Amino acid sequence: MTEATQRFFESLPERAPTVLRGLVAGTLQIDLGTGHQTEHWLVRMRPGAVESSRERGPAYAVWYSSSTLFDRLITGEAQALAAVLRNESTFSGDVVLLLAFRRFFPDPPGTRDPCEVAREAVGRRS
């Protein structure tokens, strides 16, 4: 596991109030593979709160990713849903948990808010 991954999971509880504003609740097990080793994270989500631990356990959903891909996700260089659709990672269970969890990942570098882009375009026409 990389230091960036460790910091990412440690930051979840602090960031949860702004990221998890909906009614999502459940447990997501994240399995990160490196070679023949798999590291497990259990993420318990509820509105405005997250708890994460380094364990396996009963979960409503399981997401497998390589450690390398996960490092790209936490820097915004890759997107979680695109990785699942391209079969770069696998997911089973309650998809709402993945959709909620992906909000913790940053936007790709250089991404701009569409509203900001539209305001600038309107300003140029004036």
Which of 3-12, 58-67, 70-79, 112-121 has the least mean pLDDT? 112-121
Please answer whether residues 98 and 91 qualify as being in contact, where contact means their C-beta atoms are separated by less than 8 angstroms. Answer: yes
Band of pLDDT at residue 124, cut at 50, 70 and 90? confident
Dihedral Cα 5, 6, 7, 9, nearest 10 deg? 80
pLDDT of residue 96: 95
Distance in angstroms between the alpha carbons of the first and the last residue of the chain: 52
For the beta sheet containing 26-34, the strands, ordered from the edge strand earlier in sequence to the opposite edge, are 49-53, 37-46, 26-34, 61-66, 90-93
Q: Which domain holds residue 57?
A: 3-125
pLDDT of residue 126: 62
Task: Output the domain CATH number for residue 82.
Answer: 3.30.1050.10
The pTM (predicted TM-score) of the whole model is: 0.84
Residue 89 has pLDDT above 90, yes or no: yes
Residue 113 has pLDDT above 70, yes or no: yes
Structurally, the chain folds into a number of domains equal to 1
